[in-house]
Structure 1
Amino acid sequence: MNRFILALFAGIGASMAIGLLSYSDAATSSAVLLMAPFGATAVLVFGLPESSLAQPKNVIFGHFITAFIGVFFSELIGVTPLTLAIATGLSVSAMLLTKTTHPPAGANPLLIMLTAQSWVFLLTPVLFGAVVIVLVGKSMQKLHRRLA
């Protein structure tokens, strides 16, 4: 397929995943299902699906590990310019050491610490949202292979 079709297909997939999370988020008042780093995740999952950075393990665990670090600092250590820097650095190191590097997840500690998120944030939006994006991404890849 030509570049135009691939780009269009990626945009449709990203719209579907973010739309699903966004509409679900709007429909429920009890859970947050969307966060800004998912926009960058969608670029990788739908635009560069063969990249190691876009693989399910990287997307899910990269987001989860970095979010855990962010919540840990937010809840137990505190938020200062120094702890923001340390948490971000630890997140980068943790993803590299666990081979779950996913660049959009590098924003998680900053987002979480600056908005004072709690442990529940690990489930929604982080884990739930990452899994939804991966599932929509895999579905779009299957559809793309059928149409190619």
Structure 2
Amino acid sequence: MNTETRSKWPKPTDSLPPRLPWKNIYWAWLGGFFAAAMLGITQDLSGFPMIVGSFGASCLLIFAYPNSPLSQPRNVIGGHFVASLTGLVFLNFIGVYWWSMAAAVATAIALMLILRVPHAPAGSNPFIVMMAGAHWDFLITPTLLGSIVVVLIALIHNNIGKDRRYPTYWW
């Protein structure tokens, strides 16, 4: 490796970024718990699927880093919707192949960026949709309704206390 390439890599002695304060970790844990619990309770009461694995990663962003652009309601709901829709289109019109899954994820990324709704956890939704052989109703439940439930919990939880404010923007 030349020196220019090597300098782009961190040294083993470089320090880690600071840990979030314990108070923030507690609030993130509590928010994640309430959001996941509400998804589970809603699923039990309604009989509709409400849980997608990528919602766990959404909870990490929304409750640990609520001011991040990736954590804002339009990004959470819009990103999950666009990515699941992309996966469903590829699944139903192309089929499940390694290259169609790669194209679906790449297309979902591009569409989220074009539409200004990037949400990193939603990037896994095309994989989830295609590997599960999901049907079109996956777009409504769990994707749309589940992401709305998570955001509703965040709207309440992330505004408890005078020093907390969520969201930083809507549209």
Q: Deviations over 1:27-73 (max 9, x none)?
A: 343x1100100000000000000000000000000000000000111
Q: Percent identity?
A: 32
In the alignment, structure 1 residue 39 sits paired with structure 2 residue 56 = yes
Alignment of 1:1-148 (within 5 A): 3-29=21-47, 31-145=48-162
Q: Give the aligned length.
A: 145
What SS class does the counterpart of residue 142 from structure 1 fall into? coil
Q: Which blocks of at least 5 consecutive residues in structure 1 are unaligned?
A: none
Q: TM-score scaled to structure 2, two decimals?
A: 0.81
Structure exhibiting the larger radius of gyration computed from Cα positions: 2
CA distance in 2, matches of 1:55, 1:23: 24
Indicate the larger mover: 70-79 or 51-60: 70-79
Deviation at 1:146, TM superposition (A): 6.7
Query: Which consecutive residues of structure 2, in runs of 5 or more, have no partner in the other structure?
Result: 1-19, 165-171
CA distance, structure 2, for counterparts of residue 92 and residue 144 of structure 1 = 35
Distance 2:163 2:66 in 1: 16
**More divergent stretch after superposition (38-47 vs 72-81):** 72-81
CA contact (8 A) 1:71 1:109 kept: yes
DSSP-derived class of the 2:82 partner: helix
Deviation string for 1:87-124 (max 9, x for gaps)?
00001111111111100000000000011001100010
| Residue identity opposite 1:22 in structure 2 | G
Does the Cα contact within 8 Å between 1:60 and 1:131 map onto a contact in 2?
yes
2:3 maps to: none
CA distance in 2 between counterparts of 1:81 and 1:144 reads 47
If the length of structure 1 is used for normalisation, what is the TM-score?
A: 0.93
Between structures 1 and 2, the one with greater helix share? 1
The answer as to whether partners of 1:74 and 1:118 remain within 8 angstroms in 2 is no
Q: What is the aligned partner in structure 1 of residue 5 from structure 2?
A: none
